[in-house]
Chain A
Amino acid sequence: MYQQCKDTFGNVANCIKRLSDNAIIPFDPANTDYQAYLKWIEKGNTPEAAD
């Protein structure tokens, strides 16, 4: 499960929170955590909206 991130101005940031451990994953194609997130999206999942 993942959740969108907001920056300090309330805008959606270019990263995603992994809810299992609260790690923040950057949108970098070579980052393997981001690759796992994209596979999760491909399965039809949607991240939770930012708080």
Chain B
Amino acid sequence: MPLTTVQLGMQGTPQFYGFKNRIINGGMAIWQRGTSITTGGAYTADRWNEVSGNSNQHIQSTDAPTGFAYSMQLIGVGANQNQRIESLNCQDLSGQTVTVSFWVKNTSGTDSLIAALYYCNSADNFGSLTQIGSNVTISSNPSSTWTQYTATFSNLPAGAKNGLSLYIARLGTGSVSTTWYLTGVQLEVGVTATSFDTRPYTTELQLCQRYYQTYQKPEGRGVMNGVANLGRVGLPLQVQMRTAPTMNIIGTIDWFDGAGTGTITALNATYTTINSIEFDAIAATGTTAQYRPTVLYNGSNTGSLTASAEL
């Protein structure tokens, strides 16, 4: 095929090629926090959070349209999902028209399906937002079979480069529970929805890890401080994070100092950068009287270290 023919095929189609989708984990494949989460105001699947204030369920499901492995099943009143898009990924969007597309299947309830788009009033400040236009009612009664819905937002304001917040929700009387599925979410430049930007799983995971990482049985290396505590343990981050991350332990993690073993269940202090994490911790079990090197080893406990740099 002559090169001129290929070029003609791309004309008039902004970002026809890779990374056209500004949404991360639009295919609902990455769930580092767990695959069944009940919340009304926290993260669910990676990069997605619920903002209804209700205690709704969010479950990774294999019920998905052709071309997708997963969807998110949402159960509850006013269940919604929101994704914050970092300013660094919005620099070219001011003045542009963007199209949002996603697949939905409704199995219970008749609330309307709506989409809304907001921009930050200053860079990455998602506590101060301005809505672009008004809520777009996608459907007053979403289909019970997988259906792709779209919404277009024209001529984005200058503030769009400060970061965008996409909101997809069921809105009705405010008291009716709905059960529905969501996947294939894409936000792209242009007036029409194009095919979903399928990225390699590893790439999608790394995009998520800029904002949140979890390490089950983390391979930390460090020293005991001579009074049975882990004086300092460090390990590199898997992907450079957006900011120095907030850290936590979920469950129990094993340590070994060459003579004895023990566990930790909480952190004392952390020393984090965008590239590495270090921490001090009091041993929950186990003792040592020596200034020994220590490792977090692959023991019977399955606890995790988490690092969050969410927007």
Contacts and interface: CB of A to CB of B under 8 A. Distances in A.
Interface of A: 5-8, 13-15, 18, 21-26, 28, 30-35
A6 B247 contact: no
Given A5-B268, A24-B248, A31-B309, 19 more contacts: A5-B269, A5-B270, A8-B232, A13-B270, A13-B271, A13-B280, A15-B269, A15-B270, A15-B271, A24-B269, A24-B270, A24-B279, A26-B245, A26-B270, A26-B272, A30-B242, A31-B244, A32-B126, A32-B310
Nearest to A24: B270
B78 interface: no
Contact of B243 (A6, A15, A23, A30): A30
A8 B309 contact: no
A33 B232 contact: no
Interface string B257-276: 00000000011111110000
Contacts of B127: 35
A5 B249 CA distance: 16
B311 A7 contact: no
A29 B245 CA distance: 11
Contacts of A28: 243-244, 272
Interface residues of B, number: 28
Contacts of A14: 271
Contacts of A24: 246-248, 267-270, 279
25 contacts: A6-B268, A7-B269, A7-B280, A8-B229, A8-B268, A8-B269, A8-B280, A13-B270, A14-B271, A18-B246, A22-B249, A23-B246, A23-B308, A24-B248, A24-B268, A24-B269, A26-B244, A26-B245, A28-B244, A30-B124, A31-B245, A31-B246, A32-B126, A32-B310, A32-B311
B240 interface: no
Nearest to A27: B244
B122 interface: no
Q: Which of A5, A13, A24 has the most CB of B within 10 A?
A: A24
A21 B244 contact: no
A36 B195 CA distance: 39
A12 B247 CA distance: 17
Q: Which of A5, A8, A23, A31 has the most CB of B within 10 A?
A: A8
Nearest to A35: B127
Contacts of A6: 268-269
A47 to B, nearest CB: 14
A21 B236 CA distance: 24
Interface string B115-132: 000000000101100000
B36 interface: no
A15 B278 CA distance: 12
B249 to A, nearest CB: 8
A34 B246 CA distance: 9
A30 B210 CA distance: 13
Q: Which of B243, B246, B272 has the most CB of A within 10 A?
A: B246
B223 to A, nearest CB: 9
A13 B232 CA distance: 13
A18 B246 CA distance: 10
Contacts of A23: 246-248, 308
A34 B244 CA distance: 10
A13 B243 CA distance: 18
